Amino acid sequence: MHTPIVVTLKLDERKLGAQEFERVAAKAGLIRELRVRREEALDNFGKPGRDPHELGDVFAKIVEQSGWGPHLRMASLESDWASVVGEVNARHSRVASYVDGVLTIAADSPSWTQQLTAIAPTLTETLRERLGGLRIDEVRVTGPQTHGRGVRMMKYVQRNTRRPHPRG
């Protein structure tokens, strides 16, 4: 034989109806309040004080609080790189990374590395203005690695491969 749940939980059967009614009444009150808010929102649509720029402020807060700000600024910089360094420089370089205030730019060749290094001080100031709120302490320009694994391997193969002598 099972003990009734009322006894197990030590509930007062006389109060159960009132407790259930309170829950239902509270839910009905919330539903009524939501209906009134919705009607007021429809009546006030487009009136002063309901400016759309406030929604932008909400998104800006979300971006900053979530830590997305630096990532969005860097994405913006990458997509607008040509307007920062010029069309010609942009065709031969790209934003490589941003770590702890150091922006690294990758250039296509040593000559483009030299060209971008020459304008790095001016570029630093321009980037500080454009990327307001993002700390730019240094701009580094890197070029292609001339002594990387591929180059070393090619030189090794050239040194260790026997070529027939031209005279036979």
Query: pTM of the full predicted structure?
Result: 0.52
Residue 93 is assigned to a structural domain of this protein: yes
The pLDDT of 44-56, averaged and rounded, is 68
Number of domains, the chain: 1
pLDDT of residue 65: 84
* CA gap 69, 133 in Å, rounded: 9
Domain that holds residue 84: 69-142
Residue 28 is assigned to a structural domain of this protein: no
Residue 106 sits in a domain of what CATH number? Answer: 3.30.300.180
Residue 96 DSSP one-character state: E
Sheet holding 138-142, edge to edge: 93-99, 102-107, 138-142
- Is pLDDT at 168 greater than 60 in this prediction? no
* Cβ proximity of 92 and 109 under 8 Å: yes
pLDDT of residue 48: 66
Residue 164 is assigned to a structural domain of this protein: no
Residue 94 is assigned to a structural domain of this protein: yes
Residue 166 binned pLDDT confidence (cut-offs 50, 70, 90): low
Residue 114 is assigned to a structural domain of this protein: yes
The residue that leads in pLDDT, 132 or 3, is 3
Please provide the average confidence, as pLDDT, over all residues in the chain.
81
Residue 136 is assigned to a structural domain of this protein: yes
> Hey, which bits of 5-133 come out as E strands?
93-99, 102-107
Residue 27 binned pLDDT confidence (cut-offs 50, 70, 90): confident
SS3 content of the chain, % helix, strand, coil (to 5): 60, 10, 30
